[in-house]
Amino acid sequence: MKRAAEQMGLQGNLPVDIESKMPNLTSTSQFLLLEFSDIRELQILHFFVFLAVYMTALTGNLLIIIAVVLDHHLHTPMYFFLMNLAVLDLGSVSIMVPKAMANSLLNTRSISYSGCVAQVFFFFFLGGSDFAILTIMAHDRYVAICCPLQYETIMHEGACIQMAASAWISGILYGILHTGGTFAITFCSNIINQFFCEVPQIIKLSCSDLYLIEIGILLFSCGLFGGCFIYIVITYVKIFATVLRMPSVHGRKKSLSTCLPHLTVVSLLLFTGIFAYVRPPGNTSSEINVICAVMYAILPPLLNPFIYSMRNKELKTALFKLTDFGPFPQTSTRKILLVKLV
């Protein structure tokens, strides 16, 4: 078992006498997460830093959701999928950051077994759905720019709902697959070297060859996401070729203003994930693990609202109306929503 783990680069070189004495913790009731610091002042600092990050991500994504719902100018397929993306980002940042904040504030490291299972399931469910929505958004931009006369026929309301539902359902199945593969293994320890239940760190706790099942699922996932990424790249090659042939400079700018934010979000999600997972096997420091996790799990939900609102005039106008920074009066519906949020 140890030799197989060393070949996969997932377990450290544990001495034989220690490894043989490690208890089987298959029935463990809780896991111990990585502690940011044992100094109380630094724990409080971590709490406030994560609180600021969480509130920023929460506010940004909620504003996009409310703007799309209330502004009839945004009732189009592109903004419908953007709203779905914001909902998914809101969920993904909520499955780990609040728990990390609570642990820092309460000076604890524990997470229940069921809580860890829930984190793994929702992480892959929301992450898989997120990438599926991004792939659909690339298709939407392709149809809008390359086949404008057929856009309303292809991207009608029923088709958009079906595509969004397919993304969510595939995400649920994806989450179930990874959760089952991860927690089918037996554990020789309950100490997770990460501030949330990250699958590669959980696999390191395995004391049976069943962890190879989850490794196979992860490799399959890499191929699946790679295929989606290739589709997005091919789609954008066709989009840019069409945009460059447009005679109007204004038309080119308008088309690019709707494509570049999406392409930036896809690149951010993909490259932070690659940076986190495609690393040389072997032991890495806890600090590097935490930095990698923050990059791929927290940065995309935090930055996506800003990326989409920076170059999108329609969305910026809707947000100005929503936050009273523009010359538009408040609506009674918006007042009710804002009061509920406060």
Give the CATH fold of the 32-341 domain. Rhopdopsin 7-helix transmembrane proteins (1.20.1070)
Q: How confident is the model at residue 114 (pLDDT cuts 50, 70, 90)?
A: very high
Query: Where do the structural domains in the chain lie, given as residue ranges?
Result: 32-341
Nearest CA to 31 out of 116, 124, 158 is that of 116
Global pTM exceeds 0.85: no
CA dihedral 183, 189, 190, 192 (to 10 degrees): -90
Dihedral sign of CA atoms 274, 280, 285, 286 in order? positive
Quick check: 210 pLDDT over 80? no
Looking at residue 284, its pLDDT comes to 59
Please give the DSSP secondary-structure letter assigned to residue 84.
H
Categorize the per-residue pLDDT at 333 as very low, low, confident or very high, splitting at 50, 70 and 90: very low
Integer Cα distance of 43 and 38 in angstroms: 7
For range 171-198, the mean pLDDT: 89
Confidence of residue 324 (pLDDT cuts 50, 70, 90): low
Which tens digits make up the pLDDT trace of 89-109?
999 999 989 999 999 999 888
Residue 186: predicted pLDDT: 85
Per-residue pLDDT tens digits for 266-289? 887 777 777 666 655 455 566 777
CB atoms within 10 A of CB 294: 18
Contact (CB, 8 A) for 91 and 127: no
CA 310 distance to own-chain centroid: 20
Q: Place 24 in a pLDDT band, splitting at 50, 70 and 90.
A: very low
Q: Give the pLDDT score at 135.
A: 93
Percent of the chain with pLDDT over 70: 82
Q: CA–CA distance from 231 to each of 161, 184, 228 (Å)?
A: 21, 33, 5
Segment 28-35 mean pLDDT = 85
Let me know: does 132 contact 175? Beta carbons within 8 Å: no
Is 10's pLDDT higher than 50? no
Distances (CA, A) of 192 to 35, 115, 195: 10, 13, 8
Report d(CA 197, CA 120) in Å as an integer: 6
With beta carbons less than 8 A apart as the criterion, state whether 54 and 93 touch.
yes
Mean pLDDT, residues 42-50: 91
Q: 91 and 126 in contact (C-beta within 8 Å)?
A: yes
- In whole numbers, what is the pLDDT of the chain averaged over residues? 80
- 132-146, 149-163, 217-231: which range is least confident on average? 217-231
Q: Average pLDDT of 189-193?
A: 88
Contact 58, 90 (CB under 8 A): yes
In the predicted model, what is the mean pLDDT of residues 55-61? 93
pLDDT at res. 172: 95
